[in-house]
Amino acid sequence: MKRVGSRRAWCKIGVSLRPTVHSRCKSRSMESARDPTDGASAGAHAGAMCNRYKPPPDVRTIELTWEISRQHPEGGRWWDEVLHPRGQGPFLRRSRDDAGYSRELAVGQWGLIPWFAKEPKLKYPTNNARSEELAAKASYKEPWARGQRCIIPASDFDEPNWESGKNVWWRFRRADGRPWGLAGLWNTWTDKATGEVHESYTMLTINADHDPLMSRMHRPDPKRPPDRQDKRSVIPIELEDVDTWLAGTVAEASTLLRLAPAEVYDAGPVEA
């Protein structure tokens, strides 16, 4: 059986085992594409999300940030340097093979491949998923119900700002210098024809119409009122909430589907 993508198990050392990313953004959200299985789209207009982010450049950064035992002292990277939709990126999830509790790193396609897919390269995009619709959308409802949540490490991500009347790219880093841990869902899909196993993931987003920073991003829709633009934001998961996100119940994880405070961000126009 051939595996597309990879996973490497990591356990926290101690008394308990606990789980303690350059194409620019498009004008239309990849998450707003029609899900062919649910008979409805996200709407005629949906707030756009960025389709470019940069993962940490070395596995050691991930190990140190998320307090994972040192399994790769030589360091290295086996994922894309800059992530585009359908590129190969790293994500952290609860280990599937541990009857207790541990965490593993997987590398897979940025664009979740749902169980009903006929082929790994979908005709519609699944790199972003609207958090408000996870329980209803055919592509995401089973991974969400089964607790297949993940953390997507990112050094930075870009968003378009149209306040000047033209697109000015902004870059978003954490003010504390750490990498982002962004909320996601993962899935493993097997090609019935070839036996190939494909790892994949999607990045979750949330409405940001009333956020003082993220509501300034993306081109406004003149057909919508200012307070109903459906601007979107990624969902950062803080280090103290990683346990709950990876291992909690659906109800517990749902409490973490929220916007980050403005002080978390170090954001501004990308320098030429």
Q: With a cut of 90, say whether residue 39 has pLDDT above it.
A: no
Give 149-196 pLDDT, tens digit per residue: 999 999 999 999 999 999 999 999 999 999 999 999 999 999 999 999
Q: Please count the other Cβ atoms lying within 10 Å of the Cβ belonging to residue 64.
A: 14
> What tokens does 209 get?
């119409």
The residue count of the chain comes to 272
Identify whether the C-beta of residue 45 lies closer than 8 Å to the C-beta of residue 230.
Answer: yes
Domain boundaries, the chain: 3-262
CATH class of the region 3-262: alpha beta
- Sheet of 168-174, strand order: 53-54, 156-161, 168-174, 265-269
Q: With a cut of 80, say whether residue 93 has pLDDT above it.
A: yes
More confident residue, 60 or 199: 199
Give 109-157 pLDDT, tens digit per residue: 999 999 999 999 899 999 999 999 999 999 999 999 999 999 999 999 9
